[in-house]
Structure 1
Amino acid sequence: MLYLLFVITVITIGTFLFGYHMGALNAPQADICCLTSIPIGAKAFYDLPLCIPMSTTEFAVVTSIFTIGGLFGSLAASKPAQEYGRKGAMLWSTIGAILGPILMASASSMPMLAAGRLVAGFSSGMSVVLTPLFISEIAPKELRGSLGCLTQLSIVFGTLVSQLLGLRLSKSPYWRIILGLAAFLGLIQLVLLFFVIESPNWLVNHKNDVKQAKHTLRKLRGHDNIEAELTEMGVSAGQVLDEEERALLGSENDNASPSSTQEAPASTRSFLFDPKYHQVLKATFILLVGQQFLGATAMVFFSTSIMASSFPSQAASISVYIGIVNLVVTAIASQLIDRTGRKFLLNLSVTGMALSTAGLSVSLFLHWPTISAVCCVVFIAAFAVGAGPIPFLMVSELSPSEVAGIAQSLGLAGNWLGAFLVGTFFPTFKDLLGSWVFLIFTAAALAGLIGLRAYVPETKDKSIEEVWETRRERIE
């Protein structure tokens, strides 16, 4: 189990960096944009400007262009994940994880800063596809839910770390340290990935390398009792046997083709248009695309500016407290998910988000600062208990192995597109609608509850076949 924890720690560095970049520009926004006075005696790093003049619109573009990079990274992740493996694709993603922060930290203009965000976003987009897929394929069945939540937990932790650094390093020129530190973490992941095994599921289903799959599975589990897991991957009974047993029984060659029941990887076109995948497609859309329109991205990107009207001198600190709540509740959710089921937590989560955004609109309009802060905390807690961690996990649980990578890739591409739309247009709508802008998220949450009930089945303790069979019986 120690080696399993090591592997999961290494592969979640990429999703940690995703969360880190999501929150990195929040606290230092005014200092980066030259909207605050430069501290007396401040010295530039290597003759780089102390700040980069930008309007609110330009800064919103720089912030949200990260999601455009993520969109293309998510779309690009599926093919290398199939051809080079989960580990192989992650090695490629670390290149952007290193180069993007270097560009941002050394930026002398708005286009250069935006280019760095775009590259970092591309790397993060790949990571958010590959990490939950990798975890779902190496996690023991009894820990699949808890370990699956580590994707979101690492994202939340990354956001919190960048916000904590923002409290101390947001002033000129130290905001460059916040942006550049991520390159060091990307380098660490690159080095440690060489000590990580490949997914045994990928070795069986894409390389037909049963011998190596058995070796990696034994290393992950720390014992030899792996027959049942190999059978679930589609390995025939003869292939599961060790060499000595096969010699005695005259079994097939160890690297024979997998069981005839194993399906070949499907194409993106098949996933989109083949009727047998339509239920998976609908559920993926509701879980991953719908997540973005609940308002969490707006809260992460702009929590400091949202709170500034109510708590001018404490807005950045409140954003950190919100991040701590997010981390703690996400950790609690990871322990509950295998006990209560996915659907219960999702319904509880989305209901809480609908009520808190409605309350935030009213409290901001009536200038009730304490109630506004409480609504923000309740909103993040509600997101963390379900809508944050569960969609990443459920998509992999709902998807047959031949379309698992495609479902994650397309679903997260839609998720990134939603994040871009929210990140780009939220400041404009906030200026137009004032506090009532949050009612848009209330309406989206109510629509999400209807979609969850209609199209998303429970997956707790069920195989993919059992999930959809139960669903068909309930509809009939």
Structure 2
Amino acid sequence: MAMSGGGDKTTFYISVLLCVFAGSFQYGYNISSVNGPAVNIKDDLYNHFESGKAVYEIGEDGSVLENPVPTCPNISSVADCAACAEEIACTSDFLLEADRALHITREDQYSYAVALFTVGGIVGSFSVKPVVSHFGRKKGQLVNMIISLGASILFVGAKHYNSHICLVVARILIGLFSGLATGICPMYIIEMSAQEDRGWIGVLNQLLITIGILVAQIVALSSTMRESWGIYMALTGVPAIIWIALMGLSYESPRYLYLEKNDATNAARVLKKVRGTDDVEDELDEMKAEHEKSLSEENMSIGALFTSKDVRWQLISIAAMMIAQQMSGINAVFFYTNKIFESAGFTNETSTKISVLIGALNVAMTFVSMSLMEKAGRRSLMIYGYGIMVVFCVLLTVALKSLHVGTWVSYVSILCVMGYIVGFAIGPGPVPWIWATEFFKQSARAAGASMGCVICWVCTFIVGKFFPIAEAKLGPYVFIFFGMVSLFAFLYCLKITPETKGKSFEEIQVYFAKLNGVEISDEEMKLADNRDE
């Protein structure tokens, strides 16, 4: 990976690492943490439910047990079961006919609690713009850590009190936290980075997300942690506590201080601190030029993004990349691995361990992406990544339709899943989050990042809600759709998106000004023509 020279940059690394550890890592942990203890949570919270009239107990087959109408023709009430010594054997056959329409299975209740994570994420994404504009990047993180701690307390309460309400509120809060984190973290680390470091530093966001997912999978291997699921899920608060304890070691974004707070003095002081050198005049001159240009502009609202010609293609590009990131099926592929493993004859325990190994592959390939980001460039990694995904989507479809040929085909399917993940991890996973900050000028950056997050979370919700339905109807052919989305993204990156490697924010804006048909000077036109093809 390419790292800039200069003096001691310890302060910079501490600020960036604290941000992604407390934000991106937590987000990844909470994506996966709900899966491991799912059975334990349902056993503790959803063996009873309220229909609105009374509390009913769920039997082993999912039927209602309390005050049931017996199906046995030899008795008239549940109490009579004792006479024939069949009470234990036949109790689960009793159904409450009067309340059948109000029957809510524990799976529905649990799915409802799980889905609220995404709802919270959408709300959090919409909140990125007001939070970072009002509080700033650093204090915005502080607000988010407080939300995380609130969720952690409620997770413990949900287990201790067997409270469905505590779990629901906790899932909403941790979703709100995650929505904010997906906007604040990439923005902060990109703004803190020198031009030559933005690529590999930007990948840290995705890297810590994948590590968070992997850690949650590893911890869930312990049956003790699954049984103590309140503590397991509350571990998300540990990074928040660490961030709050060490927040004095991190600094506010100098670009935010200069361009939004008009505080050139503190911006220069922080810039010298995080660069480890007093030689920061070039960066300050760039900020000054951007600041002078933006004096006549107000910070854009999310609504203004849709009407401003200045950011038209930036918004279209980020929307296209965020949609493609989720609609290309990465979450669906992870979901489908369990069926692939089952078809290969693996036990549940072995399948879980293989899932952890695939999570480790995702982490490893994100490290590879980090090392290549400033060498190959963002655009190139997106093109190669989506190209790989197209190929493996087709191969995976063929393999899944050919499972009847022999057990060996199942292993080929697993290799296809791994190839697909390699393609996603090197470019389509990390790059859109980097572009969401790089593509927008300062006055539109908060709104642009917020909109990018909203689109990502909405697409995540759509995939989670409708993929099982599509998979049931289309079977393996659903991956042809994912391949088509990946092909669209491949062509879009090939024809439209610029290479931002080694480009200043000003140079990137000049390229988009040309694309948007906005008038630019001859000097700015030369900058646009320097775009790497």
TM-score range relative to shorter protein:
0.7 to 0.9
Query: What TM-score, normalized by structure 1, do the two folds share?
Result: 0.86
| Structure 1 position 272 matched with structure 2 position 306 | yes
| Structure 1 position 343 matched with structure 2 position 391 | no
| Structure 1 position 18 matched with structure 2 position 27 | yes
* Residue of structure 2 in register with 1:332 after alignment: 368
* Residue of structure 2 in register with 1:289 after alignment: 323
SS across alignment from 1:167: coil
State how far apart, in whole Å, the 1-side matches of 2:417 and 2:281 are.
48
- What CA RMSD, in Å, does the superposition of the two structures yield over aligned residues? 2.7
* Residue of structure 2 in register with 1:3 after alignment: 11
**Could you tell me which amino acid in structure 2 is paired with residue 148 of structure 1?**
G
State how far apart, in whole Å, the 2-side matches of 1:304 and 1:171 are.
22
Structure 2 contact 399–412 (Cα < 8 Å) conserved:
yes
State how far apart, in whole Å, the 2-side matches of 1:320 and 1:106 are.
29
2:214 to 157, 160, 163: 160
Change (3 A) 1:161 1:90: same
State how far apart, in whole Å, the 2-side matches of 1:426 and 1:170 are.
32
Structure 1 contact 26–302 (Cα < 8 Å) conserved:
no
The total of aligned residue pairs comes to: 440
- Quote the offset at 1:54 in angstroms: 5.8
| Structure 1 position 101 matched with structure 2 position 155 | no
Structure 1 contact 329–384 (Cα < 8 Å) conserved:
yes
State how far apart, in whole Å, the 2-side matches of 1:409 and 1:27 are.
30
State how far apart, in whole Å, the 2-side matches of 1:433 and 1:411 are.
30
State how far apart, in whole Å, the 2-side matches of 1:300 and 1:356 are.
14
- Quote the offset at 1:369 in angstroms: 1.6
Identity of aligned residues (%): 29
**Could you tell me which amino acid in structure 2 is paired with residue 290 of structure 1?**
A
| Structure 1 position 427 matched with structure 2 position 478 | no
**Could you tell me which amino acid in structure 1 is paired with residue 347 of structure 2?**
P
- Quote the offset at 1:235 in angstroms: 6.2
SS across alignment from 1:273: coil
* Residue of structure 2 in register with 1:28 after alignment: 37
State how far apart, in whole Å, the 2-side matches of 1:387 and 1:55 are.
36
Change (3 A) 1:105 1:371: farther
Change (3 A) 1:163 1:377: same
Q: How does 1:34-433 map to 2 (within 5 A)?
A: 34=43, 55-107=106-158, 108-169=162-223, 172-234=226-288, 259=292, 262=295, 263-300=297-334, 303-304=337-338, 307-310=341-344, 311-313=346-348, 314-367=350-403, 368-433=409-474
Structure 2 contact 183–453 (Cα < 8 Å) conserved:
yes
* CA deviation profile, 1:310-333 (whole Å, cap 9, x unmatched): 333321111111111111110111
| Structure 1 position 449 matched with structure 2 position 495 | no
State how far apart, in whole Å, the 2-side matches of 1:62 and 1:454 are.
42
**Could you tell me which amino acid in structure 2 is paired with residue 270 of structure 1?**
A
**Could you tell me which amino acid in structure 2 is paired with residue 458 of structure 1?**
E
- Quote the offset at 1:150 in angstroms: 0.5
**Could you tell me which amino acid in structure 2 is paired with residue 10 of structure 1?**
L
State how far apart, in whole Å, the 1-side matches of 2:238 and 2:203 are.
25
Query: What TM-score, normalized by structure 2, do the two folds share?
Result: 0.77
SS across alignment from 1:411: helix
- Quote the offset at 1:378 in angstroms: 1.2
Change (3 A) 1:159 1:306: farther
Which stretch shifts more, 423-432 or 258-267? 258-267
Which stretch shifts more, 415-424 or 429-438? 429-438
Structure 2 contact 195–504 (Cα < 8 Å) conserved:
no
Which stretch shifts more, 186-195 or 117-126? 186-195
State how far apart, in whole Å, the 1-side matches of 2:509 and 2:278 are.
32
Structure 1 contact 210–235 (Cα < 8 Å) conserved:
no
**Could you tell me which amino acid in structure 2 is paired with residue 456 of structure 1?**
T
- Quote the offset at 1:92 in angstroms: 0.7
Which stretch shifts more, 411-420 or 101-110? 101-110
1:438 to 472, 476, 479: 479
State how far apart, in whole Å, the 1-side matches of 2:442 and 2:331 are.
30
Which stretch shifts more, 64-73 or 111-120? 111-120
State how far apart, in whole Å, the 2-side matches of 1:218 and 1:373 are.
49
Change (3 A) 1:132 1:375: same
